[in-house]
Amino acid sequence: MKIGELARHSGLSTHTLRYYEKIGLLPYASRDRSKQRDYDAAILSWIAFLRRLKTTGMPIRDMLRYASLREGGRGTEADRRALLEAHRDRVRAQVAELQACLLALDAKIAGYATTHERIDDDASLERRREPARARQARAR
């Protein structure tokens, strides 16, 4: 599969695919007679996994470490597992923080649903943010 087709199937740009190949996240593609990259379709599952790692915030250096271990084959499973477990712990912490933020947003939105019953803490915050001169001028 040519790089353009791989880009369409993987959702990555050709530029990103070339970059990933250059830094070692993707194995070098074989070349056809005209020296164009010719990827095996099996690489799509690896790219999908890399995208998940990236989406979950894994730094490129850790992705490179994992790719290197993967290339090492048998005997690297424990190190690969440890790397993924540490990343999973960081992702879980991020998810917990996002859940707390979501609860705060839901509470704020619920407050707007019952406008006549809620205390308008947004308005009081805005008054507190006014410069002291503006508050003093109004008080006179």
The rounded average pLDDT for each run of 10 residues, N- to C-terminus, in the chain (140 residues) is 93 94 88 84 94 96 96 95 98 97 94 67 60 62
Indicate if 51 and 88 belong to the same structural domain.
Answer: no
125 — phi, psi (to 5°)? -65, -40
The total number of structural domains in the chain stands at 2
Half-sphere exposure (CA, 13 Å, Cβ side) for 25? 21
Helical ranges in 11-59 per DSSP H = 14-23, 43-55
Query: What is the C-alpha to C-alpha distance for residues 18 and 44, in angstroms, rounded to an integer?
Result: 14
In a domain, 71, yes or no: no
Give the domain extent around 122. 77-140
Indicate if 138 and 101 belong to the same structural domain.
Answer: yes
Q: What per-residue confidence (pLDDT) applies to 114?
A: 73
In a domain, 24, yes or no: yes
37 — phi, psi (to 5°)? -60, 140
Query: Whose CA is closest to 23, among 65, 55, 52, 58?
Result: 65
In a domain, 72, yes or no: no
Indicate if 41 and 9 belong to the same structural domain.
Answer: yes
Q: What per-residue confidence (pLDDT) applies to 47?
A: 96
The answer to whether 54 and 87 are in contact (CB under 8 A) is no
Residues 6+ apart with CB under 8 A from 58: 87
Indicate if 38 and 84 belong to the same structural domain.
Answer: no
Q: What per-residue confidence (pLDDT) applies to 58?
A: 97
Strand partners, 31: 37
